Amino acid sequence: MAAMPYPVGTTTNDAGHLEIGGCDVIELAREFGTPSYLFATAEMRERARAYQRAFAAHTDHFEVLFASKALPVTAAYRLFAEEGLSVDVASGGELTMALTAGFDPARIYMHGNNKTDAELVLAGNSGVGHLIVDSFDEIDRCERVLKRKQDVLIRVTPGIKPSTHSFIQTGQLDSKFGFGLEDGTAAKAITRVLASDTLNLVGLHFHIGSQIFEIEPFRLAVEALGELRGDWCSILDLGGGLGISYDEADSPPPIEEYVNLKVQAVRDVFGDEVKILIEPGRSLVGTAGVTIYRIGTVKEIPGVRTYVAVDGGMSDNLRPMLYDAKYTAVIADRPDDPAGTTVTVAGSHCESGDILIRDVELANPRVGDILLTPATGAYGHSMSNNYNGMPRPPVIFCEDGEATVVVRRETWDDLLRRDM
């Protein structure tokens, strides 16, 4: 079981079933149905604590922000607030969930490359601690709609392209995000904000991408931003990006190594007194979550392939279609049986590209089996959709053998509620 990216503490019980957070997966499927998102909350808490321990070993000047786009669920906001994290939101909706969950507005950092007037007004009226400004148009909007002095950071694209999928690279000059370093617009933005009566410039921000294993680009990005430093810069937000294991082949660096590099890079360029912020999302919740499905069809095409169709697909996990993301799977009814049958796991949608996993080894899959895909905790729920009229799955938190539904399953009636 060590090779699979299960949540920490996952076991096989006496009935031969997988247990997540002390809960029998097969019993959860019977009680709550499939597909369902299951989370081991103990792992979410431990990952948050691991980040804080790693920083505390070096400095008191830090904040760990939950990048809430990875799992925008009120219960997740509440959990990470309890763990002492701050939060990164990127829309009025995420801000509303963070406030509803009880986050101190002073610990909320609001992102977004095209914040609307309504979102900026909500942020200002709510007392959001920091805005990350992304464009000259946004600076103008802030000055027009904000009624109080607002602390801001400037988002900079440092010209660094890490090794990851092009769709989740965000630090290169050719990006919809931020002010370019190479073309001089970042320096112009600093001058512009320093002259503002409404905005109080306190720091810089960058985010070079997601699902990153090679951490040296983070050092290069910090060094690149060094040319912008000034007495006004008391905060440096280094974004997120640390990758996770989606299958047996992935080998992300430990949190401690990732944090150590970032702290040392900031010290080398900006000194000891600058507060360091990071924005983990995927690495907080990704491997804490799994998705369970029920197999409905096993279709063998002799000499070609065997398709295993499940009762979900691109409506609950869009990442394989967007990024060609790789996952693995296991039959949760008998996880310790030898996996000797090569299959392609297909969804139930009217798209030939609705493929969750290609060429995965399973233990003799049968109709009615519960198929579990690990490492779906990040972006599964947040990217879920109603394609083909599919109701979205529930989110279930599992801890110490207790399962709690924190987002209920949608129904067919729910699909009609907004129709006029």
* Backbone dihedral region for residue 364 (phi beyond 0: left; psi -120 to 50: alpha; all else: beta): left
CA distance 327 to 257: 25
Q: Inform me whether the pLDDT recorded for 114 exceeds 90.
A: yes
Write the Ramachandran bin of 321: left for phi over 0, alpha for psi from -120 to 50, otherwise beta. Answer: alpha
Q: Mean pLDDT throughout 39-47?
A: 98
23, 142, 233, 350: which is the annotated catalytic residue?
Answer: 350
Neighbours of 136 (CB within 10 A): 14
* Distance in angstroms (rounded) separating the CA atoms of residues 243 and 383: 18
> Distance between CA atoms of 393 and 380, rounded to whole angstroms?
10
CA dihedral (221, 225, 226, 230) positive or negative: negative
The candidate with the shortest Cα–Cα distance to 72, out of 318, 379, 375, 312, is 379
Long-range Cβ contacts of 108-117 (<8 Å, 24+ apart): 109/65, 109/153, 109/237, 109/277, 109/279, 111/155, 113/176, 113/177, 113/178, 114/138, 115/141, 116/92, 117/141, 117/144, 117/145
Tokens of 170: 């965000």
Instruction: Check: CB of residue 376 under 8 Å from CB of residue 290.
Output: yes
Nearest to 414 by CA among 395, 391, 394: 391
Distance CA 49, CA 43 (A): 10
Which domains are delineated in the chain? 11-33+288-416 (2.40.37.10), 41-284 (3.20.20.10)
Does the annotation mark 350 as catalytic? yes
Residues 322, 345: Cα–Cα separation, whole Å: 16
Residue 162: per-residue pLDDT: 52
Strands 108-110 and 130-133: parallel
Is the whole model's pTM more than 0.75, yes or no?
Answer: yes
Please give the pLDDT value at position 173: 66
List, for residues 261-308, the tens digit of each pLDDT value: 999 999 999 999 999 999 999 999 999 999 999 999 999 999 999 999
Instruction: Please give the Cα distance from 37 to 29 (Å, whole number).
Output: 10
Helix (H, G, I), strand (E, B) or coil at 54: helix
Residue 225's nearest CA partner among 200, 206, 202 is 206
Average the pLDDT over 316-322 and give the result.
96
Buried b (16+ CB within 10 A) or exposed e, 339-364: bebebbbbbbbeeeebbbbeebebbe
140 Cβ neighbours under 8 A, 6+ residues apart: none
Average pLDDT over residues 20-37: 98
What amino acid is encoded at 363 in this protein?
A: A
* pLDDT in the model for residue 169: 40
Note whether 26 and 17 are within 8 A (CB): yes
Q: Are 171 and 209 in contact (CB under 8 A)?
A: yes
Mean pLDDT for the chain?
Answer: 94
**Is a pLDDT exceeding 90 seen at residue 149?**
yes
pLDDT tens, position by position, 389-412: 999 999 999 999 999 999 999 999
Q: Of all residues in the chain, what percent are helix, strand and coil, respectively (each to 5)?
A: 30, 25, 45
365-392 pLDDT, tens digit each = 999 999 999 999 999 999 999 999 999 9
Task: Give the N- to C-terminal CA distance of the chain in Å, as an integer.
Answer: 50
Contacts of residue 126, defined as CB under 8 A and 6 or more positions apart, other chains included, come to: 95, 99, 105, 108
Q: Judge whether residue 167 has pLDDT over 60.
A: no
| CA separation, residue 297 to residues 170, 310, 321, 347 (Å) | 40, 7, 21, 10
- 54 contact partners, CB below 8 Å, separation of at least 6: 255, 256, 258, 259, 260
Q: Are 111 and 132 in contact (CB under 8 A)?
A: yes
pLDDT score at 210? 86
